[in-house]
Structure 1
Amino acid sequence: MEKNKFIVIEGLDGCGKSTQIQRLAAALRTRGEKVHITAEPTNFETGAYLRRILAESQEKDMYLQAALFLADRLEHITHPESGIARYLKDGYTVICDRYYYSSFAYQGTASDIDWVMKINLDCAQMLTPDLCIFLDVNPATCKQRIDAVREKPELYEKSTSLMKNIRDNFLNVLGRLQKTQNIVIIDANKGLDDVEKEILKYV
């Protein structure tokens, strides 16, 4: 694998993203890659505000949320010391837990998906991932996993029906973008080892 690749892992909360990201990073490091793992929302000021909105289930306007996520994403990309662009320039393979696809799917539940896509995709500073992998897991399974580890569900984890709506949005926008972007949808209902092997095959 060539260096300086930008890989995004997407999926519903509870789909196993965190586990597979750690496994992928370990496999790439074994090959001699320098790997930087990052996530959205970020640890920057806007990201901290967004995480508070999600954790406290604050009912903020979806257009406002989408704009905040865009602002956080631009900081994530362009920060001179710890931005994605800086790590790519320094020869790291960057693996990101969520990216603009999540904005399309989540904020798209109660706003104009086309508008959310436009403000992100038409932005001159936006980076297009070299590969996006969507881990597709049954929403009911994701909800069960979340309920087992959280005392209180976050904003987008309140019901299986909401998570199904988000999954439908994901599949809609990923299908639209597959014509112009490198996007893979993986059945992640299988065992962890099988999912890891499939991810490595596409990477």
Structure 2
Amino acid sequence: MAGCMHNETQHRYPGRFITLEGGEGVGKSTNLAMVCEFLEARGVEVIKTREPGGTSRSEAIRHLLLDPSEEEPLCDDAELLLVFAARAQHLDRKIRPALARGAWVVCDRFTDATFAYQGGGRGIDASRIERLETFVQQGLQPDLTLLLDMPVDAAQQRVIQRGIERDRFEREHAAFFDAVRHAYLKRASEAPDRFVIIDASRALADVQADIRNCLDTRLASWS
């Protein structure tokens, strides 16, 4: 029976891996679509995906993670392990094969979200997350991470204004999201060559202009 492949300690692929990160309400979905269109217009094969999710089995795990039902509350350790189970499947079935054939993968969240939500928000020690990261990813990291950042209060208002049922994470309290934001900014400060922080509190046109400029710069440096 075929299993997940772990045969490289440091992955080097012809394709590029770009992630968008940020808390709830910062505009990741809208800007993810713009990034994909931007790259496709330059002749790049783009695979748009998300975490948790990206494959049928990983999407099933996503449903478990986001389900707001309190009939059986999900403990923090189960949450963390489910996130990495979905990621292992996603990497094996979608991300690694796409990168290996030279496609560019653009993903709504990746492991930085785990350090932010499960590490910052839930308070799980970073060393435990790092061990799972090493085991599952075997050295694979994004080439570029766009961190959409804005004050928590304003982002939460955006979520409320959507007028749709909030998922299990979106129902968390403001202190949780403050911790998430702080963890994201800490991650960005530790990897400045990979992260670009985008002020997502501004008008969408301004946000997207910054993202396009960033992509133009990176594409020039990668060519």
Q: Shorter chain as normaliser: what TM range?
A: 0.7 to 0.9
Note the aligned Cα RMSD (angstroms). Answer: 2.0
The residue type paired with residue 100 of structure 2 is K
Partners of 1:24 and 1:38 lie apart in 2 by 12
1:132-180 Cα deviation digits (max 9, x unpaired): 110002111111111122443222222323211211121123323x16x
With the length of structure 2 as denominator, give the TM-score of the two structures: 0.80
Q: How many residues align?
A: 196
Specify every segment of 5 or more residues in structure 1 that has no aligned partner in the other structure, as ranges: none
The answer on 1:76 being equivalent to 2:90 is yes
Specify every segment of 5 or more residues in structure 2 that has no aligned partner in the other structure, as ranges: 1-13, 216-223
Which residue of structure 2 aligns with residue 157 of structure 1?
170
Which residue of structure 2 aligns with residue 56 of structure 1?
68
The answer to whether the Cα contact below 8 Å between 2:65 and 2:79 also exists between their aligned partners in 1 is: no
Note the C-alpha offset of 1:122: 5.1
SS of alignment partner, residue 205 of structure 2: helix
The answer on 1:13 being equivalent to 2:24 is yes
Note the C-alpha offset of 1:61: 1.6
Which residue, 117, 139, 142 being the options, matches 1:129? 142
Partners of 1:46 and 1:94 lie apart in 2 by 16
- Counterparts of 1:1-203 in structure 2 under 5 Å? 4-42=15-53, 43-56=55-68, 58=70, 59-79=73-93, 83-108=94-119, 109-110=121-122, 111-121=124-134, 123=136, 125=138, 127-158=140-171, 159-176=173-190, 178=191, 182-203=194-215
With the length of structure 1 as denominator, give the TM-score of the two structures: 0.87
Note the C-alpha offset of 1:41: 1.0
- Which protein is bigger by CA-based radius of gyration? 2
Partners of 1:13 and 1:55 lie apart in 2 by 16
The answer to whether the Cα contact below 8 Å between 1:157 and 1:163 also exists between their aligned partners in 2 is: no
The answer to whether the Cα contact below 8 Å between 1:41 and 1:48 also exists between their aligned partners in 2 is: no
The answer to whether the Cα contact below 8 Å between 2:145 and 2:194 also exists between their aligned partners in 1 is: yes
Partners of 2:137 and 2:105 lie apart in 1 by 20
1:44-65 Cα deviation digits (max 9, x unpaired): 3244233333132553121221
Query: CA 1:190–1:121 in 2, change beyond 3 Å: closer, same or farther?
Result: farther
